[in-house]
């Protein structure tokens, strides 16, 4: 666990320094509303409420882990009970209420995914959900269900042992939801109940520790990083621009408000975008661990005013009718989609056709000199070279990667082979390149 946290920390620290400590009150408010309150999930109220229950419930329940760990270290049982008195029972009842809610929501989510087969959650409809993403989601829900069952079973067995006066079990009384399980366990012997209670105790504590390690490899790392991510969010209003000192100085010189300093060393020429990881700030790198829809995020931050999502077709597991729900477009993104600022291109089925569709789109707009390409790190080299070769001379392609992924050696070799093949293909005249035959482009144009 410490090793994984250390790796993530070092990766984030590769970024440039950036001060995000101003306005602490506003930052705390944003964190509570967005990270803890799950504000962005409530576009679909019912699903949003269930998501809040499972998220907030799981986080709050694990406060009890502190007592469980201390009991294990000191050989005690319900260490805090003598000190908290009757409030201890209230507190455990609250935790059980949350545990029951988390368990119910986990079951509902498993049913939605695997029995009702909600379309936007199905790998058969959305290629990006094939394999690990679907297994990861089901694994998380099953692990959380087992953890909640363990804590309720532990409390039920504990209460029965209290009533029987078994040594070591502090008389904390019955608890609201675990008491419903007592009839199931009441016929068991003291030894069997102790084994059940200890087994559930170990299952819960080991499950929590295993989950803490597992989640650092999972997309669900955002469960924890959502808090610092939203606390250190950019508070600058969207669309606000800052004057560049160099430009301001040149304007003042032109207006005669300032005299040029011939002895001044020319400033280093700035660079648009990021060429390497060290060109990003530490906050950009933290975003990569907690944001998957990076293109949309950049659009909403005002980094560009037009956006093309290429390859929106069934082969890619996408549909123009459902993509806004699938990627949980914000109201701003939905409005941009309706107004045409975000456009969906349906034709492309591979990297070369993505480049062709993009070239068609830019040709129809006209006058574009800079393009920001957003894709995964492993796909970026291939996508970048095919797009650059498809565009007219003078159009610069800048790059922004989505969340980094730990590909295995075989996957890296496969991607390098694809890149090499793409590089060779781009050496041929445009009309003979793979995908150059594509004629169905946006606005009815071809590159």
Residue 36's pLDDT is what? Answer: 74
Which residues of the chain register pLDDT less than 70?
38-43, 126-130, 219, 238-244, 264-279, 288-304, 314-318, 326-328, 377-378, 399-413, 415, 427-447
Residue 96's pLDDT is what? Answer: 92
**8 A C-beta contact, residue 436 and residue 430:** yes
Gap between the Cα atoms of 87 and 372, Å rounded: 57
- 433: Cβ–Cβ under 8 A, 6 or more apart, which residues? 352, 389, 425, 426
Task: Tell me how crowded residue 114 is: count the other CB atoms within 10 A of its CB.
Answer: 14
Tokens 């498993």 -> residue: 110
Q: Which tens digit of pLDDT belongs to each residue from 66-113? A: 888 898 888 888 889 888 988 999 999 999 999 999 999 999 999 998
Gap between the Cα atoms of 151 and 65, Å rounded: 10
> Which tokens go with 74?
């000191």
Gap between the Cα atoms of 320 and 357, Å rounded: 16
Residue 293's pLDDT is what? Answer: 45
Question: Residue ranges of the domains in the chain?
Answer: 21-231, 292-444
**8 A C-beta contact, residue 129 and residue 317:** yes
Residue 236's pLDDT is what? Answer: 75
What's the DSSP call for residue 20?
A: -
Phi/psi for 401 (5° steps) reads: -90, 155
Task: Tell whether domain 292-444 is in CATH 3.40.50.
Answer: yes
What's the DSSP call for residue 308?
A: E
């Amino acid at each position: 666990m410490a090793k994984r946290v250390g790796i993530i920390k070092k990766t984030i620290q590769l970024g440039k320094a950036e001060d995000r400590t101003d306005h602490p009150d506003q930052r705390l408010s944003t964190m509570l509303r967005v990270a803890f309150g799950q504000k962005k999930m409530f576009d679909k109220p019912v699903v949003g409420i269930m998501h809040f229950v499972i998220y907030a419930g799981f986080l709050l329940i694990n406060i009890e882990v502190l007592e469980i760990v201390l009991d294990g270290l000191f050989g005690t049982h319900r260490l805090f009970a003598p000190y908290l008195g009757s409030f201890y029972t209230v507190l455990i009842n609250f935790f059980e209420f949350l545990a029951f809610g988390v368990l119910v929501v986990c079951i509902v989510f498993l049913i939605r995914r695997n029995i009702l087969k909600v379309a936007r959650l199905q790998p058969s409809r959305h290629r990006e959900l094939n394999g690990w993403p679907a297994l990861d989601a089901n694994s998380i829900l099953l692990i959380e269900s087992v953890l909640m069952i363990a804590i309720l079973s532990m409390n039920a067995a504990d209460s029965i042992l209290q009533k029987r006066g078994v040594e070591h079990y502090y008389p904390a009384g019955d608890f609201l939801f675990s008491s419903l399980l007592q009839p199931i366990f009441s016929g068991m012997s003291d030894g069997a109940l102790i084994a059940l209670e200890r087994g559930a105790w170990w299952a819960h504590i080991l499950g929590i520790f295993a989950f803490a390690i597992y989640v650092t490899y999972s997309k669900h790392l955002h469960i924890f990083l959502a808090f610092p991510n939203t606390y250190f969010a950019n508070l600058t209003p969207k669309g606000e621009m800052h004057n560049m000192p160099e430009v301001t100085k040149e304007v003042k010189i032109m207006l005669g408000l300032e005299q040029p300093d011939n002895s001044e060393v020319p400033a280093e020429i700035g660079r648009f975008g990021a060429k390497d990881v060290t060109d990003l700030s530490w906050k950009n790198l933290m975003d990569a661990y907690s944001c998957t829809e990076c293109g949309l995020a950049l659009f909403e931050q005002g980094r560009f005013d037009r956006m093309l999502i290429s390859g929106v077709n069934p082969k890619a597991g996408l549909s123009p009718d459902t993509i806004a729900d699938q990627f949980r477009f914000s109201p701003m993104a939905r409005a941009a989609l309706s107004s045409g600022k975000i456009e969906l291109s349906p034709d492309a089925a591979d990297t070369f056709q993505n480049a062709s569709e993009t070239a068609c789109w830019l040709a129809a707009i006209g006058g574009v000199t800079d393009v920001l390409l957003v894709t995964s790190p492993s796909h970026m080299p291939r996508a970048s070279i095919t797009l650059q070769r498809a565009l007219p001379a003078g159009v610069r392609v800048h790059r922004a990667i989505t969340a980094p992924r730990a590909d295995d050696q075989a996957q890296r070799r496969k991607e390098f082979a694809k890149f090499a093949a793409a590089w060779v293909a781009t050496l041929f005249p445009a009309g003979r390149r793979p995908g150059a035959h594509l004629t169905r482009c946006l606005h009815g144009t071809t590159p």
